[in-house]
Each structure stands twice: as structure tokens, then as C-alpha cells.
Chains A and B, each alone.
Chain A
């Protein structure tokens, strides 16, 4: 097994306000990993740091043993749905085609080969019937599937998804998690920022639990223990203590 991602002594702040401090973990290839933690724990910040979108104050991130900027084209990213302008004049298949841009490089245009590949990726998420719709005409779950198809089109080794199950219907959620599991079985590494703890157990192989700092990282069973979870969520659950339930 080879390392997919190793994070060493990571510190990130916004204008000097600490967002995450001293985060260390490593993930091996071929894992489906959930990044979980309470609201404001720095999940999205961690994701942005891993993608090289924000500067880091200290520490080291290695993707497949290399620096982030060296491996940008091996990484696919699915943004949160509300980060996208859904009125943009673009069709479903053309937005998937964007996934082929990183490998095309400057000046080259997507040709027939790329277009067929985009269509195949749409088929994998069962969205081929909507290929020529404007993206805003889709439901939330369908939009998320299209963006997953775009990530597939990138033919990456690592996938990062930011809250892909928010506002998504049950059948889309099923399609998405199945595609992610297939990717994992092909030896890809998939990271999902996720906040719904009830599903975390059945979806992921490994969990990275953070709350400003790393609480625990490892197999789902080793993270999903009461004493570990309580550490991350103690502030959220303080009301339970008040009514007499001891967490």
C-alpha cells in the first residue's frame, strides 16, 4: 500500500485567527475517507488547504509523495452546490467536458474523443438523458451527480467532495455513494467532507475527525467510539448534560 495523502503539522489561519492547528494524519491509497467534525470545525478549511487553494502557515502536505502544486492535475474537486451559478449558460454535457480541461492544457480544445468520454462519465451517474439540458433545470441531486461526472472526467487519482449529500434525494445519494465505492475499488482515494454522522458508518472506510485540531484518524470503528466522538462534539452536546444525559 502506498501513501495517498500525508499531512504533517498543518496550521492554517485566516488573518492570524487560527482555523486549524497541528493536524497530522496519513491516508493510504484505495480508501473512501470521511472528513467529519462539528460546524465550524475547519472541515472546509482543511479541504481548501489540501487543494492548495489557501496559504498554510506551517506544515507539510504530500499527495502521493509530492507537493500539492506538483500533483494538481491528479486531483479532482467537487464544490459545494451553493458555490455554483446555476444560471450559467452551459449544458450538462459541456459542464462535464470541463473535467477534461486540466489534461488538455492550454490552447487545445476538446475534440470528439473528449466529448465521448464526457458522455460516458454522464452514463456512470445515470444522467445521459439530461445531456443537453441547461444545468439549472436539474434537481439538486441531479446537479450533484453531474458534478461527480465532471470529477470522473478528470481521470484523477484523488477525489475531494465538499458536502456532496446536502439537499440531495435518496436515489441520487445512492448513485453517488456507489460511484465513490467503485472508485475506491479501482484503487483511487476519495475524500468526502460530511456532517451527517448517521451515515458515516456505512459510507466510509476511514474517518478523519477534526475540531480545530485532529481528534482522531483511522478505521471507522476506531473513530466511532463514544469517548472519541464526545471529544469532538462536546460543545454541541453540552445540552445533554444539562438534562442529565452523560455523554
Chain B
């Protein structure tokens, strides 16, 4: 551990990796809360995969991969909505069809580019290779995401909790849905470097689900979720650095460990406390 801290002081690439992981932990934690409360976990997975063709096209024409990724991510989100609203195909089926299509297209485009190392990093993340430009991109995305959630907190809360009421008083739930999809795509792009496409969904869902087991207030859930995201990122980075493991995998496993602890020991919703409460009640009745 001390080696790790010393190394952070020493190596600039590690400082960048650490800062980027912390930012990704925060924004994934925040957006993840709304994703799981709206029952859109699968959508998170879909959008994260759907950015792949955008990333490939951006490399081909030599622009920042952010723009291509957001474009194909949002297009896929719109496509999913279009198919499920205009046919008898159910929402999850529509998600399954469109995101795999986008992902398959992405694989072919990247193969055409003949750069398999890039594909590996995009799929599984390599936080230790974060470039300064990536770090700044993550920071800008982070500010946009946090500012949007702060400014539209009320609207996000009411459309997640009771969309019919939101619609009845004149909010466009559709617009808010697509705005959230855009934020989700941006968060995915920011997470590409740290955890990679395949595991982004874990960073969105696992910290938020952990927080969900710990509190009954949305704003506390958002803070706890970010905290879980940051802790997982930092500890995961430590293991990635020390044992030369893929950063995405180590970060996700730490998050899963934290979730497991909450699952069993959460004061209100944990399995163990529930079990103890039932035991106590039964033995009290037996007396």
C-alpha cells in the first residue's frame, strides 16, 4: 500500500489514472442511481455497448472519439424507443436487438481498422494509459453531468418516481428520458478508459444498488453511490497497479464486494439483520 502511495507521488501517469478513476466513480454513481430507479439497468448495458461503432468511426475520420460515441449511443437509444413504441416488440427485446447490432457493427469497423490492441483497451479499459486529453475530457463530462443533475434534480426525481404526475403537470417525460440517455452515453465514454465498454454497466449499477440498500432518501443514495464508486475505483486501481491486472476487472470486483457487504449487513435491508429481527420476534413470542 505504501509503495502505491509513493508511486502516486512519483509517477504522473498514475496521478492521472487516479484522478480519472475518482471522477468516473462519482459520475457513474450519480447517473447510476437514476438508471436503477427507472428500471433501466439493461438500457445502461445497451448504451455502453452501442458507443463502440461511434468510437471506431471517430478513429477512422480522426476526430475525438467522444463525438462519435455520443452520436451512436443516442441514436441507439432513440432506435430502441422507436421500435418498442411502434410495434408489439417489448422494450427489453428491442434493447437486445439494437445494442447487439450496434456492437457487432463496431467490432467489424474496428477490425477493418486493423488495430486489435485498441479494441482490447476499449472493451476492458486500461486506466494506467490515460492520456491528459482523456483526463480533461472526463473532467468536462463530469462537470456537465453533475451540473445537469443538480439543476434538474426536481425533474429527475419526479419523472423517476411518478412519471404520470410529471406528465400531467406539463413536464416532457420523453425529453427528460432522452436527456438522461445523452448523459448516460457521456458517462460511458468517460468510463471507457477506466473500466471499458463491457464493464461500464457494473459501475453504473453496482454502486447505486449498494446505496439503494443503505438509505431511503434519494439525495443520500446519490452521495453514497458516488462514494462507493470512488472507493471501488481507488482500491481497484491499487490492485490493478500492484498486481498488473486489468483495471476494469479489479474496480468492478471491489464494487461487487461492497455490494455483497451491504446485501448482508445493511442496517435496514440487510439479510442478516432481517434474519435476526425475525428470530428475535419469534423467540419473544415463544416466551
Contact = CB atoms under 8 A, between A and B. Distances in A.
B164 A79 contact: yes
A101 interface: yes
A51 interface: yes
A91 B216 contact: yes
Nearest to B161: A88
B1 interface: no
Contact of A134 (B151, B153, B162, B216): B216
Interface stretch (B63-71, B119-127, B166-174, B198-206): B166-174
Given A88-B37, A109-B154, A102 B169 contact: yes
A90 interface: yes
Contacts of A72: 168-170
Contacts of A95: 161
Question: What class of interface size applies to chain A in its complex with B?
Answer: 20 to 34
Contacts of A134: 216
A110 B217 CA distance: 16
A52 interface: yes
B98 interface: no
Given A101-B158, A107-B151, A53 B215 contact: no
* Chain B contact residues, majority secondary structure: helix
Contact of A89 (B155, B162, B216): B216
A106 B215 CA distance: 27
Contacts, number: 66
Interface residues of B, number: 24
Interface string A94-109: 1100100110101101
Interface of A: 51-53, 69, 72-73, 75, 77, 79, 83-85, 88-91, 94-95, 98, 101-102, 104, 106-107, 109-110, 134, 154
The 10 closest A-B pairs by CB, nearest first: A134-B216, A102-B169, A72-B170, A77-B168, A51-B168, A89-B216, A89-B218, A89-B221, A88-B161, A72-B169
Interface string B136-175: 0000000000000001111101101110110111100000
B212 interface: yes
Nearest to A134: B216
A17 to B, nearest CB: 14
Contacts of B212: 89
Contacts of B160: 88
9 contacts: A72-B169, A75-B169, A77-B164, A88-B160, A90-B161, A98-B158, A104-B154, A110-B154, A154-B169
